[in-house]
Structures are given as C-alpha cells and as structure tokens.
C-alpha cells in the first residue's frame, strides 16, 4: 500500500502535558507519518515540531524486551517473566515483613503521556503497605499546590485565549507549552494592540521577545519583583476593592505587610527599573481580565512557595478570578493530587487512609501525598532506623531527573532492593536490581490526567497503534501478576465479577458495587480487579482502560453538575458508564465537563466560597525580603539555569537523538559580554563547574542571556545504547551539577534555576 492509501490512526503526542491529538500512519512497527488531529477537542489539529519524534520513542534501540536482573558485578542478565515476578514479589514481601511497608518508597507513576500505569501501581502499593511516594511534581508543583490549597482549595488554569493581559512568570510557553495551542495564542496576543503580555524572565526567551513588558529580572529575584508589583497595587490603591470585599477574606491581615514593601529597593534588587514595574502593575490593574501562568523559572528557584503566593495575590488583588479571560477552576477528570495519593478508586465515601504528613528521616513536609524529590538521598543515605530500604520506580528516570545524580546513584545502590518498570534501559534502570519492561504508550491503552481546560474539559483515551513489543507487558498486567504472586488476589476474587461482566456492564456494575460492600479487598485492589474482570470484555488492546470505569464513577459522583452539562445526565452510575463508553468510542477524546463561571466559584472550597488571601506561614518570608539578597558564591560567580526547555528537549522520553540532524545540541547559552570576558567564541568547548561537578560543553553565544546568567537544556546527556550496541552520549546531564540540599524551606522544591557556577575556556 502506498502511504496515500494507508489509514490514519488516532493517538496523541506524549512529549508534553498537552498531549496534542495526532493522526499517524504506520508501517509494520514503525510510525511513518504524523499530523495533528483536527477532531481533538482541545488541540484542534495543533502540533509543534516535537510531535514528529514519536517513532524515535517507539523504536528506540535501548527498548527492553526481557526482564533483567542485576548480577553482583553490575552487569545484567535476561530472566523470564515468571522468575522476575516471583523474585520481585518475594523480595518486596521480605522487606515488608522485616521493616514494614513504610520502608518502601514508590517513585514515578507516569510521565507526560502515560498515567494509567500508575493507577494499577496503586494496587501493588496497597498490597505492600507503601506509605511514601514521590514523583516529578514534588520538584516543581508542590509549593504551588500547597498555596492553592490555602487560598482556593482548587486548581486553576489561565484563560489565555480571552485574556486582555497574559502574565508569564518563569514560563516560556513558546517552547514548553502548558496550555492548548500555545504558539497560536501567544501570536494572537502579541499582534493585538488592545492586549498585552507581561513576561518575568531573566532571559529574553522566545516568549519574552513577544512581550509588551519583559521584566528582565536578575536570576532568582522573582519574589522581589512580584513583591514590588503587589506592593504597588496596594500602595497606589490599584486594587479591586469591592470585588475583594465580596469574594475574599484576609485582606486586612495582609494589607499592612504589602503597604510596607519598599518598592524602590525591591526594584533595585530584581534589576528592573521601578517605572517599568509601576507601568506593568498599572497595566494589570486596568485590564478587564488577566490570566497568569507560573512555572519552573520561579518554581525551581529561591522563594518558590512565596512566589506562588505573590503571583496569586497579584491577580486576586485585581479581581481576576471566575470570569472570562481570567483564571478559573477547571474540573479535573481525576485530580493530580488524588492520583498522587493513589485515590483512584470509587472512594468518595471512604477516603483511603491518610498518608503520613512528614517524611520519616528528614521530617520534610508531604504535599499532595508526595515527599520532596530533593530529600530522597538523605532519606536513604543514613543509618536512621526509618530509612527507606527499597524503591519501586515506575515511568520515571530519577537518576537523571532528580537533583544531584551522584548522590541519587549512591542512594539507589545503598538500597536492599530496587525495581524499575520502564520501556528502556535508562540511567536509573542501569542501577536497579530488577528491570521490568513495559509496553510502550503506543502498545496499550493510555491516557493522562493532565486535563486542565476550562470551561470545556476533555479526556483522551488512546487506543494502541501496535501489539506489545514481544517480551514486554502493559503495567496493568505487571501489577496484576505481582498481586497474584503476593497471594493477594486469585481466580476466587475475579470469578463472580467475570461472570457478571459477561452479562453486560449493568450487571457488572451491580456485582461490583455489591462486592465493594462485602469485600474491602475489592476497593483496595479495584484497578487490578477491573483489569482482570472487565478488561477482557473491552475491545482488543484496550484491557488497560478498565480502571477508567471506576474513575468515571468517581468523577461523576463528585461532579454531577458539570458532567450533566456535558451531556452525562441521569443516575450517576449510568451516566458514568456512558462516559466510559464514550471514551472507548471516541478515539479523538471526549468533553467530560462543561463548566460555568458559577461552577468556578463553587469549586473554591473555602467557607462561603470566599478566596483566602492570608497565609500566615508566608508573611514572615515576605518580611525577610527587605533585608535579604539572593546568595552570592564568590568562587562560582555565574548563575546557571540547569534545565531550560528547548525545541530539542523532551524530558527523557525520547532517548534516541537520531532525529537531530543539524546544528548544535546541548549547548550552554551565555551572553556575548560574558563570552568576550572568558575569551570564547560560538561553539568553543568551555568547562562548566559547580560545587557538585564539572563538565565540558560547547558554548552558544546568545543575546537571550543577560550577563552573569547561563543556561543548559533539560533532559539531555542520556547514555543511549544505539543499534550497534555502543553507548553514545549527546549533551550534558544537568543534574550532575545540581545539589539536592539547595531547596525551598517549605515545599523542598529544588533551586535548579539558581545554581552558582563557574565557566572557563578549555585550553
């Protein structure tokens, strides 16, 4: 068949949280042509250039095709699935009986495109009595989640399609996206003289270059910049007084602090002229609507939790919530905080047991059920009796993605047991005791819970494009086998539900809810039980979608109104079942929630739905700014942003760099002024050193950078084993240079964008 006659199959891009809908052509096991899917309910045909790399993920040469067991000499041997499951189950069981389930740490559960595996992983965690979890959210978003919980009690998303003013703080949506059709919306704002874009970034990023106000701060000074903006709003009385009186509490408690902010001094510290800050504050105050997005530039930096608070104060003091073009409470299909805590079953009435609130060794705050990534090495490399003894790592590459790879490697090898579930022989897998090969995201039913749209929110259940690569299993099957090997589940548990499933989903629902009432195990292990009983009745290849049946039930039960507005009316169990069926029937995705602005307000889960402006824990932090400066390390005079999103990065999902044909890769961006001082020209190798390590990297002289600030891409420097069996490394692994002890006082999030560094010419 020529490619003209090939059918186009629907799927999604897996390289960022947007998961744009794709249509692809395949040839054998290869993805040969890729285009945007016009029918996708949120991306509407939009894609960026990264979508063209799907085949490099799908057919990476270092994909695993057999379970692997580490030998004492550090090499690996292939073992059968039966052996792997038996040994892994036995060894976890032994750790549990010796030290308790709290000695096992779970890391990961999903990347940018795959969150179903984590739902099945929950069942294994419950069987093992696992209490502590972590994943990448605990090195970026936990501070923001904590602040959100104190102020609004709901997640919010900016309406960049309709806003008059867009505010981006440490966020470069041109490259990193974060909201649907980012580049289209950015261009629209930039072109419209009645709308404005404000970007807070030390670098003239692609987004900053489009901005009306580029507040080009000195690195690490977001809190001062945002503090000055909030101070100006209050001091010049630019606030929405009536709106604040009607919709918020706590203004009186914070007003005194904000009035005290020394704006001129803060302007000086952040390096932005005071007049420019005042002009930006006036632009925000005069706009009909402001939508804001904060991201890693601020969240992986000094004062990140305080920054999340100040960001919200700025748009709340000016009344920018709950209207078109502002910030609104979206209805999640399954909230990321619930997913992180493993609350993926029909558990509205019976919440799962509360997880510990502090980590056992370092006593770090646990937010949305996650311990901060940055404390993991300290929780292992100690003789503390409560240290973690084992880790289960699923769909994450912490030896590459967490701060201080050196300490993480040491930590992983110090464990008594480490098990990795991944598609490839990653940096992390190469230090694990067992590696279990998962089928790729194009070889099983998959989906993500990154559903942040408002007012119409959509969920996309993707069907597989291929059979599983021989030797691999979907996570649902891996966890089902583990539970069976642990002796937790057997045919006896499945049989009645299996029989009911054969009679149709009505009978199945009745049998399932009856089983939940009499057998607590049914709830505890719901995802796996659904996979084994409902799964076989689903279309071929869609068995892993079974857990979504319960998630639909949970969703509709908790969101009757917005589900009904999206057409899912009637009795909750039946509406939920129809939602599940629609997910199966619609390969481009389904709108599962339609919200009104009233719903946005109702989602504010504070007394009387009033937004709380007062977070007492953060006011002393704000007060400290007046007599504080960002730390300086004389021996390391540059500030390195370790992990910039570029067109050629995608975390570590695509390991094969074969798609990268032209130009330089993995460069260190440096300002022309600094390059001249050091005496390097474009492409020269320079030595980049921090307190934790030293690497050689080609310099890229870039007018994006301000003097003193340098930037390395994220997700590169992978050790990729190519088809010839050679290990090739392109680019630099940023976390060889970072320090896990440099972190936020409250959320423990890392200061990846504020790494003191030195740059020298390599002679």
Ligand X SMILES: Nc1nc2c(c(=O)[nH]1)N[C@H]1C(S)=C(S)[C@@H](COP(=O)(O)OP(=O)(O)OC[C@H]3O[C@@H](n4cnc5c(=O)[nH]c(N)nc54)[C@H](O)[C@@H]3O)O[C@H]1N2
**Shortest spacing between CB 67 and ligand X, in angstroms:** 13
Which of the choices ligand SF4, ligand X, none does residue 18 contact, using the CB cut-off of 5 to 8 A by kind?
ligand SF4
Task: Select 180 or 611, whichever has its Cβ closest to ligand SF4.
Answer: 180
Q: Which two tokens stand for residue 755?
A: 């790494």
Task: Select 112 or 347, whichever has its Cβ closest to ligand X.
Answer: 112
Contact predicate 97/756, CB 8 Å: no
Which residues lie near ligand X (CB under 6 A)?
16, 50, 111-112, 114, 117, 136, 139-140, 169-172, 175-177, 200-203, 205, 217, 219-220, 222, 295-298, 300-301, 394-398, 401, 421-424, 426, 438, 440-441, 475, 641-645, 649-653, 714-715, 734-735, 738, 752-753
Please state, in angstroms and rounded to a whole number, the distance separating the CA atoms of residues 228 and 284. 13
Task: Select 743 or 753, whichever has its Cβ closest to ligand X.
Answer: 753
663: nearest Cα among 730, 607, 603: 730
Name the one range near ligand SF4 by CB under 6 A: 12-20, 277-285, 336-344, 460-468. Answer: 12-20
**Shortest spacing between CB 50 and ligand SF4, in angstroms:** 4
DSSP 236-279: TT-S-HHHHHHHEE-HHHHHHHHHT--HHHHHHHHTS-HHHHHH
Residues that contact ligand SF4, how many (by CB under 6 A) = 11
Helix (H, G, I), strand (E, B) or coil at 645: coil
Task: Select 611 or 737, whichever has its Cβ closest to ligand X.
Answer: 737
Q: Which of 9, 10, 11, 15 binds ligand SF4 (CB under 6 A)?
A: 15
DSSP 468: P
Please state, in angstroms and rounded to a whole number, the distance separating the CA atoms of residues 700 and 677. 14
Which of the choices ligand X, ligand SF4, none does residue 421 contact, using the CB cut-off of 5 to 8 A by kind?
ligand X
Instruction: Tell me if 48 contacts ligand SF4 by CB under 6 A.
Output: yes
666: nearest Cα among 730, 728, 719: 730
Beta strand segments in 525-650, E: 590-594, 611-612, 638-644
Task: Select 15 or 415, whichever has its Cβ closest to ligand SF4.
Answer: 15
Which of the choices ligand X, ligand SF4, none does residue 714 contact, using the CB cut-off of 5 to 8 A by kind?
ligand X
Please state, in angstroms and rounded to a whole number, the distance separating the CA atoms of residues 287 and 326. 10
In degrees and rounded to multiples of 5, residue 115 shows phi and psi of: -120, 0
Task: Select 21 or 369, whichever has its Cβ closest to ligand SF4.
Answer: 21
Instruction: Tell me if 462 contacts ligand SF4 by CB under 6 A.
Output: no
Instruction: Tell me if 447 contacts ligand SF4 by CB under 6 A.
Output: no
Instruction: Tell me if 171 contacts ligand SF4 by CB under 6 A.
Output: no
Task: Select 51 or 124, whichever has its Cβ closest to ligand SF4.
Answer: 51
Instruction: Tell me if 296 contacts ligand SF4 by CB under 6 A.
Output: no
Instruction: Tell me if 500 contacts ligand SF4 by CB under 6 A.
Output: no
DSSP 138-172: GGTTHHHHHHHHHHTSS-EEE-TTT-SEEEEES--
Q: Which of 10, 18, 157, 166 binds ligand SF4 (CB under 6 A)?
A: 18
**Shortest spacing between CB 283 and ligand X, in angstroms:** 18
Instruction: Tell me if 13 contacts ligand SF4 by CB under 6 A.
Output: yes
Which of the choices ligand X, ligand SF4, none does residue 455 contact, using the CB cut-off of 5 to 8 A by kind?
none
> Distance from first CA to last CA of the chain, Å, rounded?
56
**Which residues contact residue 261 at a Cβ distance below 8 angstroms, ignoring those fewer than 6 apart?**
227, 228, 230, 231, 235, 622, 626
Which of the choices ligand SF4, ligand X, none does residue 186 contact, using the CB cut-off of 5 to 8 A by kind?
none
Cα three-residue angle 219-224-227, rounded to 5 degrees: 145
Please state, in angstroms and rounded to a whole number, the distance separating the CA atoms of residues 459 and 450. 9
Residue 268: exposed, middle, or buried by beta-carbon count in 10 A (0-12, 13-18, 19+)?
A: middle
Instruction: Tell me if 50 contacts ligand SF4 by CB under 6 A.
Output: yes
Q: Which of 177, 312, 389, 721 binds ligand SF4 (CB under 6 A)?
A: 177
Task: Select 267 or 575, whichever has its Cβ closest to ligand X.
Answer: 267
Please state, in angstroms and rounded to a whole number, the distance separating the CA atoms of residues 52 and 34. 6
Task: Select 12 or 228, whichever has its Cβ closest to ligand SF4.
Answer: 12
Instruction: Tell me if 167 contacts ligand SF4 by CB under 6 A.
Output: no
Q: Would you tell me which residues interact with ligand SF4 (CB under 6 A)?
A: 13, 15-16, 18-20, 47-48, 50-51, 177
């Amino acid at each position: 068949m020529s490619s003209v006659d090939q059918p186009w199959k629907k799927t999604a891009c897996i390289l960022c949280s947007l998961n744009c809908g794709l249509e692809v052509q395949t040839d054998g096991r290869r993805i040969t042509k890729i285009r945007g899917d016009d029918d996708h309910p949120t991306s509407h045909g939009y894609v960026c250039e990264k979508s063209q790399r799907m085949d490099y993920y799908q057919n990476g040469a270092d994909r695993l095709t057999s379970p692997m067991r580490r030998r004492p000499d550090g090499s690996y041997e292939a073992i059968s699935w039966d052996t792997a499951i038996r040994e892994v189950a036995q060894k976890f069981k032994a750790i549990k009986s010796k030290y308790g389930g709290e000695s096992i740490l779970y890391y990961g559960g999903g990347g940018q495109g795959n969150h179903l595996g984590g739902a099945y992983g929950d069942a294994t965690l419950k069987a093992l009595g696992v209490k502590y979890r972590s994943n990448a959210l605990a090195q970026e978003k936990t501070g923001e989640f904590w602040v959100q919980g104190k102020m609004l009690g709901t997640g919010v998303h900016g309406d960049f399609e309709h806003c008059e003013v867009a505010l981006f703080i440490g966020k470069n949506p041109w490259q990193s996206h974060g909201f649907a059709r980012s580049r289209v919306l950015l261009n629209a704002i930039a072109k419209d003289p009645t709308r404005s874009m404000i970007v807070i970034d030390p670098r003239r990023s692609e987004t900053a270059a489009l901005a009306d106000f580029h507040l080009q701060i000195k690195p690490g000074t977001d809190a001062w910049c945002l503090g000055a903006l909030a101070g100006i709003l209050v001091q010049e009385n630019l606030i929405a007084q009536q709106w604040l009186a009607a919709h918020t509490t706590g203004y009186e408690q914070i007003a005194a602090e904000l009035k005290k902010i020394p704006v001129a001094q803060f302007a000086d510290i952040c390096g932005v002229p005071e007049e420019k800050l005042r002009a930006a504050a006036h632009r925000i105050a005069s706009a009909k609507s402001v939508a804001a997005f904060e991201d890693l530039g601020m969240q992986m930096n000094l004062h990140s939790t305080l920054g999340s608070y100040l960001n919200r104060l700025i748009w709340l003091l000016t009344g920018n919530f709950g209207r078109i073009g502002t910030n609104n409470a979206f209805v999640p299909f399954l909230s990321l905080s619930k997913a992180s805590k493993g609350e993926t079953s029909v558990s509205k009435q019976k919440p799962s047991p509360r997880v510990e609130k502090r980590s056992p060794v370092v006593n770090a705050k646990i937010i949305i059920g996650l311990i901060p990534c940055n404390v993991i090495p300290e929780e292992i490399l100690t003789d503390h009796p409560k240290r973690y003894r084992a880790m289960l790592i699923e769909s994450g590459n912490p030896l590459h993605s967490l701060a201080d790879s050196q300490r993480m490697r040491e930590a992983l090898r110090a464990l008594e047991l480490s098990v990795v579930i991944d598609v490839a022989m990653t940096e992390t897998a190469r230090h694990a005791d067992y590696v279990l090969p998962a089928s790729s995201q194009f070889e099983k039913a998959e989906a993500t819970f990154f559903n942040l749209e408002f007012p119409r929110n959509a969920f996309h259940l993707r069907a597989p494009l291929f059979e599983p690569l021989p030797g691999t299993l979907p996570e649902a099957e891996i966890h089902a086998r583990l539970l069976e090997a642990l002796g937790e589940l057997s045919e006896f548990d499945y049989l009645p539900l299996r029989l009911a499933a054969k009679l149709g989903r009505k009978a199945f629902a009745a049998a399932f809810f009856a089983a939940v009432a009499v057998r607590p195990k049914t709830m505890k292990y719901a995802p796996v039980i659904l996979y084994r009983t409902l799964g076989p009745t689903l279309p071929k290849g869609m068995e892993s979608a079974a857990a979504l049946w319960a998630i639909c039930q949970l969703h509709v039960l908790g969101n009757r109104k917005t589900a009904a507005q999206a057409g899912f009316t009637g009795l909750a169990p039946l509406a939920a079942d129809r939602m599940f069926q629609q997910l199966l029937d619609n390969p481009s995705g389904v709108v599962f929630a339609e919200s009104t602005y009233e719903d946005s307000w109702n989602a504010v889960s504070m007394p009387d739905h009033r937004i709380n402006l007062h977070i007492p824990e953060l006011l002393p932090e704000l007060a400290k700014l007046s007599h504080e400066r960002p730390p300086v390390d004389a021996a390391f005079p540059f500030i390195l942003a370790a992990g910039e999103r570029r067109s050629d990065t995608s975390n570590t999902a695509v390991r094969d760099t074969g798609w990268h044909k032209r130009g330089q890769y993995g460069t260190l961006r440096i300002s022309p002024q600094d390059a001249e001082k050091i005496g390097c020209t474009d492409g020269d190798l320079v030595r980049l050193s921090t307190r934790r390590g030293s690497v050689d990297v080609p310099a890229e002289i870039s007018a994006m950078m301000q003097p003193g600030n340098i930037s390395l891409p994220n997700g590169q420097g992978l050790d990729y084993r190519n088809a010839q069996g050679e290990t090739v490394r392109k680019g630099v692994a940023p976390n060889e240079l970072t320090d896990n002890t440099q972190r936020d006082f409250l959320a423990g999030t890392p200061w990846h964008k504020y790494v003191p560094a030195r740059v020298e010419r390599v002679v």
